[in-house]
Amino acid sequence: MSNEKDMRNDILNAATKVFIAKGKSGARMQEIADEAGVNKMLLHYYFKSKELLFEEVLKNTLTDLYYSVIEISYNTDNFKDALEIFIEKHFEYLYKNRDVLSFLLWEVSHTGQNMQELITQTFQRLGNTPLDALTKKINEAMSSGEIKKIQPSDFILNLFSLNVFFFIAFPFIELFSNMNNSEVQILMEQRKKEIFRILWNDIKR
């Protein structure tokens, strides 16, 4: 049983690498089998189709995102702490998984409704979508008087836009700034603090 589990995990790890590098449409089952070090027949034994394998990779990727960012920031007593933790963990996740961001943006923009449904279903099985979790936290903070009355959807859009833009621009930062790794880390810390300052000062009582 453990060998089967290890084999399945090896295939998923290989598939994740190939899908993130080439996208769903560009990935080939033979390439995934080669990356995993198995023959194609064995690959199909564990995963009957590329569609099913892609769905499993997507679920695993979103689950990692959920537990790395959403859940840890959601389980706080106040919204100020939740916001600060969310920005910190979101930056940490995106920095470690920059290729995942590109992968998700590409698939959502090119696969359309089906991809959106898969993402929503996965988050719902975990408990809440990021939008639902953050909206609930914002509504609780408004009800308790911790923050001003705001439109949750506008705030969430600002939050994600500010966080994600840094990593969309990251290749240009690397290309034109000649920063070393420690300088990049300093810049990231500055951005996290600035994003928190902008958002919190806009909503605090």
| Model pLDDT for residues 4-26, shown as the tens digit of each residue | 778 999 999 999 999 999 999 99
State residue 170's pLDDT score: 83
For the chain, give every domain's residue range: 1-48, 54-203
State residue 181's pLDDT score: 84
Residue 28 makes CB contacts below 8 A (sequence gap 6+) with: 18
State residue 174's pLDDT score: 77
**pTM of the predicted model, to two decimals?**
0.87
Angle at 87 between CA 83 and CA 91, to 5 degrees: 170
Only one residue has tokens 């198995």, namely 38
Q: How far is residue 111's CA from residue 92's CA, in Å, rounded to a whole number?
A: 27
* Tokens read off for 127: 């408990």
pLDDT of residue 83 exceeding 60, the answer is yes
Phi and psi, residue 147, nearest 5°: -130, 165
Of 119 and 174, more confident? 119
| CATH class belonging to 1-48 | mainly alpha
| CATH class belonging to 54-203 | mainly alpha
177, with CB counted inside 10 A (0-12, 13-18, 19+), is exposed
pLDDT of residue 113 exceeding 90, the answer is no
Q: Are 65 and 123 in contact (CB under 8 A)?
A: no
Residue 89 makes CB contacts below 8 A (sequence gap 6+) with: 68, 69, 72, 73
What average pLDDT does this structure show over 68-75?
Answer: 89
Q: How far is residue 18's CA from residue 143's CA, in Å, rounded to a whole number?
A: 46
Range name among 68-82, 165-179, 186-200 with the lowest pLDDT average = 165-179
State residue 2's pLDDT score: 53
State residue 112's pLDDT score: 66
> Hey, which residues does 147 pair with through a beta bridge?
204
